[in-house]
Amino acid sequence: MIEKDTIYNSSADEGLYGIFNDSFPPILDGVTLTVQNYAHWFTKKDMLPCVVTPWNPESRSYPYEVMRYFSLPIWNRKPYRYGYPKLDPFIWRRLRKKNFKILHSHCPFSSGRLAVYVKKKQNIPLIGTFHSKYRQDLEHSFRHAPWCVPIIMKRILDFFNACDEVWIPQAYVEETVREYGYKGKLRVMENGNDFASIVEGDLFDYKSKAKKSLGISEDEMALLFVGQHIKEKGVDTILDSLEEMNGNVKFRMNFIGTGYAFDEMKQRIYESNLKDKVKLHGVVNEREALAAYYAASDLFLFPSFYDNAPLVVREAAAMGTPSVLLKGSTAAEVISDEKNGFLVNKNPGEFSDLVKNLADDRDKLRRVAAGARESLVRSWEDVVDEVSENYKRIMVNYKK
């Protein structure tokens, strides 16, 4: 049964916190989870959020308002959709009638343009968060029409220049923002983790039970990837590494997510005779089920130069699973090698050697797992408290 977005009486709205993003469940990614957790904790703290996002045929119900506008599927990025507010005759009037007090857009595209529209109409502050390496997304999407990329990149820069404040999830992301041409001030606002308080009792007893529940033996190295199955995230590097490990290390690999490379990965796993050791699960919507996969894993493999501050690394850390990241990647900024994670070059041999060495040195693996949990885990409630204080600061200064 398809649930419907909850409809609210706009006349009852008093001071809404507008959260704008181009993706929302059933689409699941790091930015979507950020938006969801903002809205969840705003609601808990009586802050009245209103999420503005493209329409999706699998809409669900929420204890806060979700305002959707016309969209169409993106053919090469299933299940993502692109919003077309210019083709929606109602969204503009609905937004004008809403009593927003502050706006926060997590995307510079269609939802971001709507946020800029509301800012101008209501004369209220707008925050933009820079989450992704947009140029790489565009270069993939418009690989047959590369002339489109600089045009859209200019629109992205125009959006961030229209914001009153721009936030980034970690300091190293500044390099990318400056590369795109943004010259304004930046504020670091970290992401949180809704797995922060799941583990009860001894961490490694908990992980052992999770392994057993998923049928993974203690002598297997349990490996995990969660995210979009796209080549930009290094899924080919993971498969290359698994081929090198095969016959040398006893392992189990779980892939969770979907993306344009899914079918190609499935075929390659079959051709490489890895089907008994590697499983593609697709999207896992239930957060408790996803947490179990994190807890049952020994290492989280994430060979991506594409990501800025991936939530999945912190989710893995919350369940005592350290990540293997690429040296020099933006995502690796928070990692100290062999302290709270592992850093390697983008070389399948280095990945496979690391897994083999850690299979023989479980004490080191445990030390790093504990370090990851201690240093990388922060609750969303704590993050949203900081967000709320910054909203107050911005609104006070804006009135001046």
Of 252, 241, 243, 302, residue with least CA distance to 278: 252
Q: Report CA-CA distances (Å) from 246 to 99, 149, 221, 352.
A: 59, 40, 12, 9
- Please, where in the chain does CATH 3.40.50.2000 lie? 10-192+380-399, 203-376
- Judge whether 303 and 343 are in contact, CB under 8 Å: no
247 burial level (CB within 10 Å; 0-12, 13-18, 19+): exposed
- Judge whether 226 and 256 are in contact, CB under 8 Å: yes
Per-residue pLDDT tens digits of the chain, which is 400 residues long: 233 444 444 444 479 999 999 999 988 888 999 999 999 999 999 999 999 999 999 878 999 999 999 999 988 777 889 999 999 999 999 999 999 999 999 999 999 999 999 999 999 999 999 998 888 878 877 888 899 999 999 999 999 999 999 999 999 899 999 999 999 999 999 999 989 889 988 999 999 999 999 999 999 999 999 999 999 999 999 999 999 999 999 999 999 999 999 999 999 999 999 999 999 999 998 999 999 999 999 999 999 998 888 999 999 999 999 999 999 998 999 999 999 999 999 999 999 999 999 999 999 999 999 999 999 999 999 999 999 999 999 999 997 6
Give the predicted TM-score (pTM) of the model.
0.85
Q: What is the rounded CA–CA span in Å between residue 83 and residue 338? A: 43
Q: What is the pLDDT of residue 4?
A: 44
Q: What is the pLDDT of residue 185?
A: 94
Q: What is the pLDDT of residue 1?
A: 24
Q: What is the rounded CA–CA span in Å between residue 183 and residue 185? A: 7
**Number of other residues whose CB lies within 10 A of the CB of residue 66:** 24
Query: Among positive and negative, which fits the CA dihedral 393, 129, 181, 22?
Result: negative
Q: What is the rounded CA–CA span in Å between residue 235 and residue 238? A: 5
CATH number of 10-192+380-399: 3.40.50.2000
Q: What is the pLDDT of residue 20?
A: 98
Query: Among positive and negative, which fits the CA dihedral 166, 35, 288, 254?
Result: negative
| Homologous superfamily in CATH for domain 203-376 | Glycogen Phosphorylase B; (3.40.50.2000)
Can you read off the two tokens belonging to residue 83? 């919003």
Q: What is the pLDDT of residue 71?
A: 97
